[in-house]
């Protein structure tokens, strides 16, 4: 079959359940338009080092290949390494590791493979890399994905609903455990800069309190609130905290449990010297549990969901959203809407300039509707 355009799909670093649904949305719509679709191994690495991969770093996404894909999975292209084409680590002629700019190599290889445009499924730092490539001539359209739903310009990024659903399931179990053991459960969920996952999941399970990065928690005020909720008839509580939560009115600090190796690996770290210098997952829950244990008579235990919430299969909502994002992005390429990102603004998918999304986070304002719901349900938010 002769195609009139060749489009490649690039997947940024990090795992998100159900990426196959986006790939299916792109491929089905593209083939209907008479285009050929290929994937790039490991983000852009497949075309930076094509000699390391079969088929020159490209993945077959023909109609026959995509017909075998499970839309709930993410196995079509693997998981990208965290590689920046502008700062690629290589071994030089003196057997020393150095960082070099290989962006021109990437663009040259895209031309050699006769790829007309790239549909990039990106988040976080990947957006900045994509923007820099666009400035050098890359024709691309971006699809937003993040399990924390913190990407600016779009109200719902791909992957959030799946992670939200799994987080709610785990919080239900944590609440049941807190009830049966008559303890206070402190559960840390994903959310380093935005608290959407913590807030929406805490509403779903009727938690007693939720702590989000946008608003520091006064631990003494929280302890006072929990005392009003706990009684002989209800000797338990559930507090949900985002991993980026912070505190005021602390009475203690987390003891330094950092190994000498960790300190050596992060000699210029500006954070306090704790065991969370490298891996911060669990720090918020441990700090809050330690503080509340000293302020309350009840036993407090911390639990960390962390990256476990990124697994599983995509929900029906994310599958639909992935297919919709994929199909809409093909239309954007057809209309030459390059250097843009798809943005779901219900009930439409719009396309916004990629530069307008850089270095911005979608955060929760105090008058947000979910905050109002939490307050109406008696959930402590600290504001």
pLDDT tens profile 67-89: 988 888 888 887 666 778 999 88
Q: Do residues 141 and 221 both lie within one domain?
A: no
Question: How many alpha carbons fall within 13 Å on the CB side of residue 305?
Answer: 29
What does the pLDDT look like over 268-296, one tens digit per residue?
444 444 444 445 678 999 999 999 998 99
The Cα–Cα gap between 273 and 266 comes to 10
Check whether 199 has a pLDDT greater than 90: yes
Residue 66: give its domain's CATH number. 3.40.50.450
Whether residue 88 lies inside any domain: the answer is yes
Whether residue 354 lies inside any domain: the answer is no
> What is the pLDDT at residue 89?
86
Q: Which two tokens stand for residue 365?
A: 């304002």
What does the pLDDT look like over 306-365, one tens digit per residue?
777 887 889 999 999 999 999 999 999 999 999 999 999 888 899 999 999 998 899 999
For residue 39, give its domain range. Answer: 5-158+314-346
> What is the pLDDT at residue 363?
95
The predicted model gives 143-161 an average pLDDT of 92
Q: Do residues 284 and 212 both lie within one domain?
A: yes
> What is the pLDDT at residue 80?
64
Q: Do residues 143 and 59 both lie within one domain?
A: yes
Residue 284: give its domain's CATH number. 3.40.50.460
The Cα–Cα gap between 311 and 303 comes to 17
Q: Do residues 30 and 96 both lie within one domain?
A: yes
Of residues 16 and 58, more confidence is placed in: 58
Q: Do residues 282 and 335 both lie within one domain?
A: no
Q: Do residues 255 and 211 both lie within one domain?
A: yes
**Count of structural domains within the chain:** 2
Whether residue 360 lies inside any domain: the answer is no
Whether residue 298 lies inside any domain: the answer is yes
Q: Which two tokens stand for residue 195?
A: 């608290």
What does the pLDDT look like over 232-270, one tens digit per residue?
999 999 999 999 999 998 875 544 444 555 455 544 444
What does the pLDDT look like over 17-56, one tens digit per residue?
899 999 999 999 999 999 999 999 988 999 999 999 999 9
* DSSP E strand boundaries for the chain: 5-11, 35-40, 58-60, 88-91, 97-100, 117-122, 140-144, 184-189, 209-211, 217-218, 237-242, 247-248, 300-304, 340-345, 348-353
Q: Please answer whether residues 80 and 19 qualify as being in contact, where contact means their C-beta atoms are separated by less than 8 angstroms.
A: no
> What is the pLDDT at residue 252?
55
Of residues 111 and 279, more confidence is placed in: 111
Q: Angle at CA 290, nearest 5°, toward 286 and 295?
A: 145
Q: Do residues 173 and 122 both lie within one domain?
A: no
Whether residue 356 lies inside any domain: the answer is no
């Amino acid at each position: 079959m002769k195609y009139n355009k060749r489009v490649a799909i690039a997947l940024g670093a990090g795992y998100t359940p159900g990426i196959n649904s986006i790939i299916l949305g792109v491929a089905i719509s593209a083939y209907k338009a008479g285009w050929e679709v290929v994937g790039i191994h490991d983000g852009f690495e497949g075309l930076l080092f094509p000699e390391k991969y079969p088929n020159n770093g490209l993945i077959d996404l023909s109609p026959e290949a995509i017909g075998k894909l499970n839309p709930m999975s993410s196995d079509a292209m693997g998981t990208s390494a965290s590689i920046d084409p502008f700062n690629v680590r290589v071994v030089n002629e003196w057997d020393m590791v150095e960082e070099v700019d290989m962006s021109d190599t990437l663009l040259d290889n895209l031309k050699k493979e006769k790829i007309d445009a790239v549909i990039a499924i990106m988040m976080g730092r990947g957006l900045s890399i994509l923007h820099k490539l666009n400035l050098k001539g890359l024709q691309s359209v971006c699809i937003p994905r993040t399990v924390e739903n913190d990407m600016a310009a779009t109200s719902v990024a791909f992957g959030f609903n799946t992670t939200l659903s799994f987080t709610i399931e785990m919080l239900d179990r944590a609440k049941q455990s807190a009830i049966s053991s008559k303890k206070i459960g402190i559960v840390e969920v994903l959310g380093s800069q935005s608290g959407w996952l913590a807030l929406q999941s805490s509403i779903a399970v009727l938690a007693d309190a939720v702590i989000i990065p946008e608003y520091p928690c006064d631990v003494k005020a929280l302890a006072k609130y929990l005392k009003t909720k706990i009684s002989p008839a209800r000797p338990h509580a559930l507090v949900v905290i985002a991993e980026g939560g912070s505190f005021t009115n602390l009475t203690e600090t987390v003891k330094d449990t950092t190994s000498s190796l960790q300190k050596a690996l992060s000699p210029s770290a500006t954070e306090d010297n704790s065991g969370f210098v490298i891996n911060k997952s669990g720090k918020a829950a441990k700090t809050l549990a330690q503080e509340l244990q000293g302020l309350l008579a009840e036993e407090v235990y911390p639990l960390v969901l962390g990256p476990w919430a990124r697994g599983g299969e995509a929900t029906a909502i994310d599958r639909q959203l992935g297919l919709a994002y994929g199909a809409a992005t093909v239309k954007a390429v057809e209309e030459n809407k390059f250097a843009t990102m798809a943005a779901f603004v219900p009930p439409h998918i719009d396309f916004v300039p990629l530069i307008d999304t850089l270095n911005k986070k979608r955060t929760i304002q105090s008058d947000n509707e979910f905050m109002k719901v939490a307050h109406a349900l008696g959930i402590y938010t600290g504001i």
